[in-house]
Amino acid sequence: MATLHHGPCYALLQPSDLTQPSRRRFLSGSALVVGFALSGGTKALAKSEASGVAASGQAFDGFAPGGFIRIARDGSITLVMPSVEMGQGIYTGEAMLIAEELEVGLDQVSVMPAPPNEKLYAQPLLRSQATGGSTSIRGTWQPLREAGAAARTMLVAAAAERWRVPPAQCVARRGAVHRADGSAALSYGDLVADAMRQPLPGKVALKPAEEFTLIGQTVPRVDTRAKVDGSACYGIDVRLPGMKVAALEICPVQGGRLLELDDSAARALPGVVDVLRIDDAVAVVGDHYWAARKGADALKIRWDFGGRDAMSSATMWSALEQASQTGKAVAAPAVGDADQALASAPKRIDAVYRLPMLAHATMEPINTTIHVRGDRCEVWLGTQVPTAAQAAVAAACGISPDRVTVHNHLIGGGFGRRLAVDTVTQAALFAKQVSYPLKVVWRREQDIGHDHFRPAYYDRVAAGLGADGLPVAWTHRTTGASVLADFLPGGFPPGVLDTDAVEGAAKTPYHLPATRVDWVRYNGPRKVNWWRGVGPTHNVFVVESFLDECAHAAGRDPVEYRRALLGDNPRARNVLDIAAARAGWGMPTGARTGRGVSLHDSFGSFIALVVEVAVSSAGEIRLQKLTCAVDCGIVINPDSVRAQVEGGTIFGLSAALYNGITLAGGRVEQSNFNNYRQMRINEVPPFDITIVKSAADPGGMGETATVSAAPALANAIFAATGVRLRTLPIDQTLLAQAKPAI
């Protein structure tokens, strides 16, 4: 096992720990494994398949009911987390789901990341072992509780047999089974051997909400202490005996190739061990990163750009506009005849919106540590897709996936970037050229310049307004790349609707009598990828901004206008009313000060955000207050919901205010946080967050507030200055001396 420089990391499962599930393979001995996979099925695993090897090298000896729970004979309890922790608090949320039904406290458990295993850990909504799309709690809400309940049922049955009483006379509490009359108690550790002999429960009863003791409570995160004391281990922290470190030079134009290399100066530097090359990159290997970085700086390289250095932002936008006008559109399901209704409407308004490519800009830059040894390989990294990373390494090394061991670590921010495995493939191509463990680390400029970006979008929208000013027709054409085309191994077929491209536009919270929403595919100059909020981050900005334009054209208040369109949508109306009331909507504001609102339902949650801004005569924007109301169904940990609202809003505001990837000569012009800015602490105003109590199933929260941020901000700026912003990031020079809207 690895030696990690921060001390103990989370325990790491091996692929042998949990593999092919099979109901028929029930073996007696030191461990019974009852598989409750994410599909909700009840299955058993053989001892040899599931006991695995602990960090000590010894097989696990205890009760392991399924892929998610391990109880050792000493009473220690470990919960295996199917989703990846990248700061969003999912280890805590998923641990709470299991612990609630297992009847243990979070202080009684430790957690570990799941190994690559599609059969046990495939996310039901994504249908793969992946963390993204705000699906984690939505997908695990039922099966993780079932896993905890199954284990509890078996432990209670074991205690009942020992006491020779009916299970109904036993109760589980705080990691022990008690006689209902209080006469005896046995810890879960005491019951391990007997629990392993219990039959698999076919169906388990889950606790009703009124009996929850953990779910719904604000609890400290399970990884807080490790992150505070420095023992938490991220991919970039990994250190192995004999490990070397690689710094890279990558072709600055995507699709270019290495033409000529002079590495003599690099090889002469102290600490430089080797220089490796692949088609589009060179790695200088050093005893430590500084030696490798100095060596990479000393390389003399000529690249073959293959003509791709002619691409610029100007040519990209021109191509997007042309595609929007002449490209073949693929339509989402329509409502009514929008074109006819638009032609006959008393008033028509049109607009064009442009949104830039965006980088993920995570705090932890790209890194992969990998050791290739003949027909075996071991990888240490942080990835949102463990099985995809495993397959990528196997393909690069020419071995089967079962010969690749993946140690997945905490991630210092993902936002979708770690859903791509291009960087893992790159590291494997370098590592298979050497015999020692190799850590490949990208510098910040490479992390931004060689990202797989959120696509750029060009949107044309039109609305026909009736006599009351409300829309009678609505059309929306978005033009941009398909993320699925770059994400799916086999690409995405032409002529088929990529639903992500229209998500948040094809379905809105509003009752619109006639709609036509379609998409024109434009394969842009750079690789693209999911970005926090995926389709809704783009589409909701257009919808909510244009809806404000309609309200202004109709001479109606933006909140009242939205309420009039909500029809039978009480959850959306409720969050809108709460946010507006708490923000003081309708109360007077100062000069060049305004409030803006956005409303949407995405990822199974409903959220309204009101942003209040002041804009100086020089065009400087000062955020004064952020007011949010969210209905995300049953809340697991209220503190996590608030944190996601705060972090997601700031993430979205940063993008709207400062972020956009531009190209010149085929190269990305942004390089670091100096020209790809994030909001600073002094720029963040007070938050007022209301979490609506709800009995609905949990919705997603990881991306919801990011979707809300840009439209609410742009609408607030319009209220303060009268300037309608249809292009992001915001050009503050347009706001200088502008007059407020009437």
Q: Which two tokens stand for residue 592?
A: 């060049």
With beta carbons less than 8 A apart as the criterion, state whether 531 and 453 touch.
yes
Residue 672 maps to a domain: yes
With beta carbons less than 8 A apart as the criterion, state whether 514 and 335 touch.
yes
Helix, strand or coil for residue 26? coil
With beta carbons less than 8 A apart as the criterion, state whether 109 and 63 touch.
no
Helix (H) or strand (E) holding 352: strand 347-355
Specify the amino acid at residue 465.
L
The three-point CA angle 514-516-521 to 5° equals: 170
Query: Do 577 and 681 belong to one domain?
Result: yes
Phi, psi of 308 (to 5 degrees): -75, -5
Query: Do 212 and 112 belong to one domain?
Result: yes
Residue 441 Cα distances to 158, 244, 262, 451, angstroms:
51, 11, 22, 14
Query: Do 630 and 591 belong to one domain?
Result: yes
Query: Do 538 and 625 belong to one domain?
Result: yes
Residue 648 Cα distances to 87, 331, 652, 710, angstroms:
12, 30, 6, 11
Residue 244 maps to a domain: yes
Residue 350 maps to a domain: yes
Q: Quick one: which of 227, 49, 212, 134 has its CA closest to 645?
A: 134
With beta carbons less than 8 A apart as the criterion, state whether 355 and 102 touch.
no
What pLDDT is recorded for position 13? Answer: 33
Query: Do 173 and 319 belong to one domain?
Result: no
Q: Which two tokens stand for residue 506?
A: 């094809």
Query: Do 411 and 465 belong to one domain?
Result: no
Residue 414 maps to a domain: yes
What pLDDT is recorded for position 50? Answer: 34
Considering its fold, how many domains does the chain have in total?
3
Q: Which residues lie below 8 Å from residue 525, measured CB to CB, with a gap of 6+?
A: 254, 308, 311, 316, 663, 666
Q: How many C-beta neighbours within 10 Å does residue 218 have?
A: 11
Q: Which residues pair with 596 in a beta bridge?
A: 611
Query: Do 102 and 185 belong to one domain?
Result: yes
Query: Do 246 and 105 belong to one domain?
Result: no
Residue 666 Cα distances to 66, 159, 249, 409, angstroms:
50, 68, 16, 34
Residue 14 maps to a domain: yes
Phi, psi of 141 (to 5 degrees): -50, -45
* Domain enclosing residue 9, as ranges: 3-229
Query: Do 503 and 383 belong to one domain?
Result: no
Domain end among 417, 441, 465? 441
What pLDDT is recorded for position 60? Answer: 65
Peptide bond into 729 cis (omega under 30): yes
Helix, strand or coil for residue 531? coil
| Strand ranges for 512-636 from DSSP E | 515-521, 593-602, 605-615, 621-631
What pLDDT is recorded for position 64? Answer: 85
Domain end among 229, 260, 276? 229
Where does residue 739 rank: exposed (0-12), middle (13-18), buried (19+ CB within 10 A)? exposed
Query: Do 437 and 564 belong to one domain?
Result: no
| 119 vs 36: CA distance, rounded Å | 11
Spans of the chain, pLDDT less than 50? 1-58, 742
Domain end among 441, 461, 487? 441
Q: Quick one: which of 451, 425, 427, 421 has its CA closest to 439?
A: 427
Phi, psi of 350 (to 5 degrees): -130, 155
With beta carbons less than 8 A apart as the criterion, state whether 592 and 622 touch.
no
Query: Do 408 and 465 belong to one domain?
Result: no
Residue 448 maps to a domain: no
Kindly write down the DSSP assignment for every residue of 193-223, as one continuous string.
HHHTTSPPPSS-PPPPGGG-SSTTS----TT
For the chain, what is the largest distance between any 2 Cα atoms, rounded to a whole number of angstroms?
Answer: 84
With beta carbons less than 8 A apart as the criterion, state whether 643 and 739 touch.
no
Q: Which residues lie below 8 Å from residue 242, measured CB to CB, with a gap of 6+?
A: 436, 437
| 536 vs 705: CA distance, rounded Å | 11
| 308 vs 255: CA distance, rounded Å | 7
Residue 447 maps to a domain: no
Residue 446 maps to a domain: no
Q: Quick one: which of 708, 717, 602 has its CA closest to 655?
A: 708
> Which CATH number does the domain housing residue 681 bear?
3.30.365.10
Q: How many C-beta neighbours within 10 Å does residue 179 have?
A: 16
Query: Do 460 and 558 belong to one domain?
Result: yes
Q: Which two tokens stand for residue 361?
A: 């800009």
The three-point CA angle 722-727-733 to 5° equals: 60
